Chain A
Amino acid sequence: MSNSVTEKVRSNPKFSELKSKRARFAWTLAAIVLGVYYSFMMVVAFAPKSLTAKIGEGWTLSIGYPIVAVIIVGAWLLTGLYIRRANGEFETLTRDIVSEAKK
């Protein structure tokens, strides 16, 4: 890639738009996943008893089980959220940037 292409892309306002939007979105989602996971680990380490509470009257399962399931499924759904926006909005922006750089 030549320097002129780099300069052209960098001076395109859409490039900074893509960069900042994607960075904010990706780091926010990563912070949510890691934040939830490590908060949960702190509960496991410091208040393990709180996870043994039953889901409801007459249940055997403790609330710890659905929490794990929600973390796993929720994290997966967040990757789905990311891919939706990245393969839609961000891809469109990227395509614009690439075609404008070739002009």
Chain B
Amino acid sequence: MRRALTAAALLAASALPAVAAGIEGQVQQQPINVIAIGMFVAFVFFTLGITWWASKRTRSAADFYTAGGGITGVQNGWAIAGDYMSAATLLGLSALVYSSGYDGFLYATGFFVGWPVIMFLLAERLRNLGKFTFADIASYRLDKSKVRTFAAVGSLTVVCFYLIVQMVGAGQLIQLLFGLPYNYAVVLVGVLMIVYVTFGGMVATTWVQIIKAGLLLLGGTLLLILAMFKLGFSVEGIARQAVAARGAAGEALMGPGKLLADPVTAVSLSLGLVFGNAGLPHIMMRFFTVPNAKEARKSVFVATGLIGFFFLVVCTVGLAAISIVGTDPQFFEGGKLGGKLIGGGNMPVMHLAKALGGDIFLGFLSAVAFATILAVVAGLALAGASAIAHDLYAGVIAKGTATEAKEMRVSKIATIAIGVVAIFLGIAFKDQNVAFLVALAFGVAASVNFPVLLLSMYWRGLTTNGALAGGIAGLICAVTLVVLSPAVWVKVLGNAQAIFPIDHPALFSMTLAFVVAFVVSKLDGSAQAEAERAAFDEQDVRAETGIGAAGATAH
């Protein structure tokens, strides 16, 4: 059960998009894995080649932030899927199915259902209203400098929490999969991220995501096919052998366990996942890379299909691991079946790769798992750099008077600064339990960015004061509740009992943000508020039709 909980915590923690394995506590460094390192080096050289190619195509600010709007819907769909499918999904989700069966499938569903909602309600409006950042949309008809500053701070907060988790995850993965020291990973990831983004901008970042998504899908699918050669080509057969291998505890794999038994926890977690996802700056940014609303819709359709397929494959792989890995003493510490898995609870999928495809397949999957982190941090760095350069510098400080060349220079400096800060924080947080940071990132995204975004798009009545009050209320509430939750109050601060019993605050903090934004906007009788409500018509025409939307630049 403990193993189940760790895997669940990792996953909930790592929530979906892209967090890495083993973020709770320390891991043991494994023997050096030469094949994995070799394959990873090949990946790095290949992606650096793409970055060099992309750098020749990155001239304007639009090229840098959004690839000039020249990414097709299908390409963007793969890149979104790449942003969302991570080492954590591969390792954590399969580990959860391995340890508790059906609960893993339930988690996967929760991670998935946000995508259709983004498609129906947000995708095309994001494309029609946005230019480079989500602050462009939030401040469309509201006070430019106040709302832009607030939205940029919201984005940076999320990016920062998320980056720390990625860095710590990278450090632990490299110990587990490559057998190299933690700090190597942190420095390597930081430096590569700076190179990808400063030289290749969004074009390189997009292609790194696409390649990574392809490799991850290939690896997962191949693993499932190999497992089926061994267990038979039916899910029923895989399940039967899994239940038999588990013995007396086998039937428990077939129904819900304890993980989502409490409805308040389940709902709060899933609200955070569904709507936090829609408020992640590096995900929102992806919608500005396509030329129009039609392609934006197409990209969500492709992404949703790929993500759904991948989740189902990974879950089934986890089920297959039960009868293959779970009955093979070579994967257990001291060769003791049913004891601790070598490398920890997140390793079933890696052991399965070794059992089915030998060292070469294990090396391949390890390299892919590590490469996923690189792709995600590149996206995060770009989102952070655009918040600093486009929103804070060009929008607020220079008030629109900065030249494009100057804004580009600031964004590159910002990228380097973000990379350095990420390396520093990655080392500072070594061996820390950072699971709470994911709760924070998603809590803030769902309770600050998302309410402001949704209301500014859909509700005429939203005013600057309402947006700021609602966003700040959501921010304070989300942070406070996470601090008082078991993840921080008990596990980090060492108190016996949490003051707030749930790790994920979205049910309360997101609701509060909406209510406060609504009430304050309603009470706002200022002349500015009137003007902002009146400006909704023009915004609405653009949101619905795309007239005046930032278009694609020629390439």
Query: Which A residues are closer than 8 A to B by beta carbons?
Result: 1, 3, 5-6, 9-10, 15, 18-19, 22, 26-27, 29-30, 33-34, 37-38, 40-42, 44-46, 48-49, 51-52, 59-62, 64-65, 68-69, 71-73, 75-76, 78-80, 82-83, 86-87, 91, 94, 97-98, 101
Contacts and interface: CB of A to CB of B under 8 A. Distances in A.
Grouping DSSP codes into helix (H, G, I), strand (E, B) and loop, the A interface class, with mixed when no group exceeds half, is: helix
Given A26-B120, A65-B105, A72-B109, A44 B266 contact: yes
Contacts of B294: 86-87, 91
Contacts of A10: 537, 541
With a 10 A CB-CB cut-off, give which of B110, B251, B293, B297 has the most chain A CB atoms: B297
A75 B120 contact: no
A78 B112 CA distance: 13
Interface stretch (B236-244, B395-403, B421-429, B442-450): B236-244
B105 A1 contact: no
Interface in B300-353: 300-301, 304-305, 308, 311-312
15 contacts: A9-B541, A26-B120, A27-B120, A34-B113, A37-B270, A41-B263, A41-B266, A41-B267, A44-B256, A61-B235, A62-B102, A65-B105, A72-B109, A76-B116, A79-B116
A73 B547 contact: no
Contacts of B34: none
Contacts of B262: 45
Given A3-B538, A6-B538, A82 B545 contact: no
B544 A69 contact: no
A58 B238 CA distance: 15
Contact of A82 (B113, B240, B274, B297): B297
A37 to B, nearest CB: 5
B311 A48 contact: no
B255 interface: yes
Q: In the A-B complex, list the 4 residue pairs whose CB atoms are closest, starting with the nearest.
A: A52-B255, A45-B263, A1-B548, A62-B254
Contact of B297 (A34, A44, A61, A87): A87
Contacts of B256: 44, 48, 51-52, 64
B115 interface: yes
Given A26-B121, A30-B117, A30-B121, A64 B255 contact: yes
Chain B interface mostly: helix
Contacts of B541: 1, 5-6, 9-10, 15
B106 interface: yes
Interface residues of B, number: 52
Contacts, number: 159
Contacts of A82: 119-120, 297
Given A44-B256, A72-B108, A61 B236 contact: yes
A80 B106 CA distance: 23
B260 interface: yes
Contact of A98 (B121, B304, B546): B546
Contacts of B117: 30, 33-34
A82 B119 CA distance: 8
Nearest to B105: A68
B297 A72 contact: no
Given A68-B109, A78-B116, A87-B298, A19 B308 contact: no
Contact of A49 (B119, B255, B545): B255
Given A6-B537, A9-B547, A45-B262, A62 B255 contact: yes
Interface string B505-537: 000000000000000000000000000000001
